[in-house]
Each structure stands twice: as structure tokens, then as C-alpha cells.
Amino acid sequence: MIEAVGLTKRYGAKTAVYNLSFQVRPGVVTGFLGPNGSGKSTTMRMILGLDRPTAGHVTIGGHPFRRLPNAPRQVGALLDAKAVHGGRSARSHLLSLAQLAGIPAQRVDEVLGVVGLQDVAKRRSKGFSLGMGQRLGIAAALLGDPQVLLFDEPVNGLDPEGILWVRNLMKKLAAEGRTVFVSSHLMSEMALTADHLIVIGRGQLLADMPVKDFISANSADFARVRTPGAEPAQREKLTSVLVEAGGQVLSEPDGALRVTGLPLPRISDLAHDADVRLWELSPHQASLEEAYMRLTQGAVDYRSTDDRLAHLQPPAQPGQPGYGTPPQPPVQDVPQQGWYAPPPPGQSPYGAAPQAPGQNPYGAAPQAPAQNPYAGAPQAPAPGPYAPPAAPQPGLPQPSDDTSKDVR
């Protein structure tokens, strides 16, 4: 088990991690989430003894990492898949790690087979793709058959088959009773892999709970209801009935109703009693990504700004979405769904005025072409083979058209 108590790390005036306390228990896959710059990598480095905390402490199995006897046999980690000597082969790299930790050489061949690199074991790692490098890093983490494993972005660069393999590997390791701590920015993958989540923002703990509880605590489920579009009276009638029953009703842009506060069976019964036909009655459950965005929207340090070159995009055809489509006014009844929704084209969330088409987005006046300081006076272009003869100039002898005369 990994336990952090009051963990704090400062780099000069910058506080990367502040008063962070959590536990990573064995038997489950624990996801470690947070925006860029939130302190995830710094926390993992402190767990592995690579950085000393300014305050607090972190232990693995009740001991600091540096005091663990033969740590590679107890803790495996993948923090940087590129931390490999490019001139070594995959097998040589793993063999050197095994010899330092007193691990038998046959274990090297075993982990190469586990990660699928047995056919390229003798190739130099500098020729590996990003996904192959990730597999080699995972092999190094598994080399000592440890009980505690830390992975920082393990699926980075992997193809779909590799991502599925990593997901099944994490679950298998946790099912064996190991402690598995995984950091990732892929919310869809974390939703399928992790059982428990630890979320930090700007170095502080934001959430420490199971995945299902995290989604429920940071999102609102609702029912989507649709009535016949040609009968607006039915829609208004159903809205009144649902509000009287204690539900909250909002309008969707496509004319459907978003209902909260009432379960689906109750909505169906109310519609039946009011003699209202329903074309759709479906539940909507927020995803892990939606819940994560809602929780961390105030802890994001790096946000994108409006693209000032958006006017260079070709206009879309009428009726088709795209940058050329004029912005539509928002539906009055529906609030905007979170800060991460992109702003309408041509509108900046920070108040910058949109650029007119053809205007230089950087404000610089167009410059005349630079003149070559080594060039002489401009020369007239040479006439082509079919160019008309030049006009005669006064004071210069002209060639005669009569070729029979002797010009000598």
C-alpha cells in the first residue's frame, strides 16, 4: 500500500504539491487524474524517492522508498519510457537492470514475452516506435515481479490492441492483490480500467473515491423526453404536468425536454395519465469525462484561446456545421454545458475582437518585397523566341531589310 501524509513540494516560489494525503490500496486499480501542471508527476517522483518532499512524507508498505531492501523487487515503475540508452537492445537494457537487482536472466525473456517484444529483443531501442518504447518501459516495471506498480501514461503511443492489452494487464495485476497506481489523461480509458480515483488540481486533493461515486457526485443525471414535433400543445401540456409533479424541465435545442428530479417510470406514468404521446424517453448518465471537467474547471492552468486565423477556413455550405456557419443564439432554457464547450466561431471568451476576413491577424502592415543590395539596375526581360521586334530607337543604326545588298 502507498500512503501519503501532508505531502508538500516547493521549487523556490512555486508550490507544486501542497498538503496532499491519500492511500493507494492493493487489489484495485487506482487512477491518478489531474490537469497538466497539477503535480501528478511530482507526486510520483516523491513516492519513488526521486524528489524529497518539502514537508510531509510518503511510504510504501510502511517504509520510505529509499529504505526498502532491494526496492526493484518490491516496486516497479514507468515514469519515462524514453529513459533508455538508445544504443542498447531491448534485451540488453532489461538484462542490465536485472543484474543490478539480482534478478535471474530468464526473467528478462519472460517479461519480453509478456509485453510482446520477444521478436525485436535484439534490436536497438533507438529504432523503437513510441508504442514499442512504452512496452519496453512496462517490461522494466514488471521485471522484479513487484507487489507495487506505478505507471505514468502507460498507453501513450499504443494502438487500440495495445491499449486493450494494458487495460487487461492492469486489471489482472490488481486481481492478484497488487497495488496498481496509474496516471492518465484518457478519461474514456480510465472509466474502463480504474476502480478508484484520486484527483488533484494545482497540487491539492480534489477527490478520493470510487469511480461510480465520483461520477454521481460531480454530475447530474437526467431523462430526455420527446413528444411529437407537430403537436406543440402536447409538449406544453407535458411540461406543466412534470413541473407540478416536482420535476425540473429544460428545453433542448432540438425540441426535446430535459427532465431532472423524476425517475423514468414516474415520467412515463404522468405522460400516460395526461394522454400525451412520447416519441422518446431515455436516461442520460454523465460520463467520467463530464464529471472530471466539472470538478477541475477551476484548477486548469493552461487554456486555449480563440483561433485568430479561423476566418481562413473555407465557408461551410448552408445548413452544414463548420466555421463558416453563423453562430446560432443559445437556447434560453438550457444553460451552457461547462466551460470546456468551444465558443461560437468568431467569438473570443476573453473579449478579443474578431478579425475581418483578409485582415492580418497579427496586425503588421504588409511589407514591400526586399530589394537585393547586390543587384544592378533592373534589366528589361529578354524577348522570347516569338516576341515581336523592339521599336526602333533614334540615333542608332537600324538593320536593313534588304539582304541582297553588301553591307561591307
Predicted confidence (pLDDT) at residue 97 exceeds the cutoff of 90: yes
Residues 115 and 138 sit within 8 Å (Cβ to Cβ): yes
pLDDT in tens, 117-157: 999 999 998 889 888 999 999 999 999 999 999 999 998 88
Distance spanning both ends of the chain, measured CA to CA: 111
Q: What pLDDT, on a 0 to 100 scale, did the predictor assign at position 230?
A: 79
pLDDT band at 50 (very low <50, low <70, confident <90, very high): very high
Nearest to 88 by CA among 127, 33, 59, 54: 127
Q: What is the pLDDT of residues 182-236, one digit of tens each?
A: 999 889 899 999 999 999 999 999 999 999 999 888 877 889 999 998 788 999 9
Q: What are phi and psi of 44, to 5 degrees?
A: -65, -35
Boundaries of every domain in the chain = 2-210, 218-296
pLDDT at 307: 53
> What is the percent of the chain with per-residue pLDDT over 90, rounded to a whole number?
54
Higher pLDDT, 352 or 304: 304
Q: Is the pTM of this model over 0.75?
A: no
Q: What is the pLDDT of residues 157-178, one digit of tens each?
A: 888 998 999 999 999 999 999 9
Is pLDDT at 309 greater than 60 in this prediction? no
- Which of 310, 253, 260 is CA-nearest to residue 286? 260
**Interacting residues of 309 by C-beta distance below 8 A, sequence separation 6+:** 361
What's domain 2-210's architecture? 3-Layer(aba) Sandwich (3.40)
289, containing H or E segment: helix 288-296
pLDDT tens for residues 330-379? 434 444 444 344 444 444 444 444 444 444 444 444 445 445 444 444 45
What interhelical angle do 264-273 and 232-244 show, nearest 10? 120
The helix/strand count (H/E) of the chain reads as 10, 13
Please provide the CATH number assigned to the domain covering 218-296. 3.30.70.100
